[in-house]
Structure 1
Amino acid sequence: MLGIAAAVLFFIAFLINAADIATNDTFTSTNVMLIGLTVLALHVSGVGTGWGSRGRRR
């Protein structure tokens, strides 16, 4: 789920940069890209995967 959120944030950053949309200082394409990288790092580290610390049940 976090991987999809990261992809959406990267796409928004691309649109802001490609369309040269004037935004305020908070939502620049670089800031949105950094938020996307943070979400991607959380996804890769295993946050939000749904797997608990319990093992498999047999």
Structure 2
Amino acid sequence: MLAIAAAVLFFIAFLINAADIATNDTFTSTNFMLIGLTVLALHVGGVGTGWSGRGRRR
């Protein structure tokens, strides 16, 4: 789920950059890219996967 959120943030950053949309300092394409990278790092780190670190017990 976090990977999908990261992809959406990257797409928004691409649209802002490609369309040359004038935004304020908060909603720049660089900020969206950095938030997307943070969400992607959380996804790769295993946050929000729902897996237990212990594994199954027999």
Deviation at 1:44, TM superposition (A): 0.3
Unaligned stretches of 5+ residues in structure 2: none
Taking every aligned residue pair, what percent have the same amino acid on both sides?
Answer: 91
Give the C-alpha shift of residue 57 in structure 1. Answer: 4.5
**1:3 corresponds to 2:10:** no
Cα offset, 1:2, TM superposition: 0.3
Q: How high is the TM-score relative to the length of structure 1?
A: 0.92
Q: Paired residues, what number? A: 58
Q: 2:17 is matched with which residue?
A: 17
* Cα deviation 1:7-45 (Å, max 9, x = unaligned): 000000000000000111001000000000000000000
TM-score under structure 2 length normalisation: 0.92
Give 5+ residue unaligned stretches, structure 1.
Answer: none
